Amino acid sequence: MDPNIIIKSTQEQDDEEFIKLIHKCKEKLYRIAFAYLKNEQNSLDAVSQSIYKAYMNMNELKTPKFFNTWIIRILINTCNLILKHDNKVIYIEDYNEINNINESLDTEFKIDSNIDLYNSIDKLSERFKSIVILKYLEDMTISQVSEILDLPEGTVKVYLRRALKILKTELGEECM
């Protein structure tokens, strides 16, 4: 089914079509939220809040083909709000709990084997962190990252190069 048709009917408050659209992108939204928040419950909260905000504001979406870009931007903003409000020390659960979470997700997103990388990504500034997560963890192109973050492609490339330089010094050349 054509996403533009789904979105147009969703803008007319067709709940079933909105649910179909969300089912197509819910796993991607969760992975992005988890990359930001490192906590299953907060990630699920961020996804549900983002879906609610998207549903309530569907009439603000001007171009239906940019739905994915639009909802990812909502999710990133929601994750940043959660991080701002939960500005506390976040403890990493023990190794077995992390393995259980990853097995239940049944994805290639394995935080236990790349904990140094994820900790280093967390230390990056927000602008660098967003670009690295979208580019490398979600395997998006530079142009897709540019659309989502509303930045010129050249700026995304510069920020990505700077972020990779910081990560290389943090992790050492052999990890990259």
Domains, in order of start, for the chain: 1-91 (1.10.1740.10), 109-176 (1.10.10.10)
What residues contact residue 30 under an 8 Å CB cut-off, 6+ apart? 43, 44, 47, 105
Provide the terminal-to-terminal Cα distance of the chain, rounded to the nearest Å.
Answer: 40
Q: What is the DSSP string of 26-93?
A: HHHHHHHHHHHH--HHHHHHHHHHHHHHHHHTGGG---GGGHHHHHHHHHHHHHHHHHHHT-S--PPP
Q: How much is the pLDDT for 152?
A: 93
- 5: pLDDT strictly greater than 90: no
* pLDDT single digits (tens) 118-143: 778 888 888 888 888 888 888 889 99
- Across the chain, mean pLDDT equals 77
* pLDDT single digits (tens) 19-70: 888 888 889 999 999 988 888 899 999 999 999 999 898 888 877 788 888 8
Q: How much is the pLDDT for 98?
A: 46
- Residues of the chain above pLDDT 90, percent: 22
Q: How much is the pLDDT for 38?
A: 85
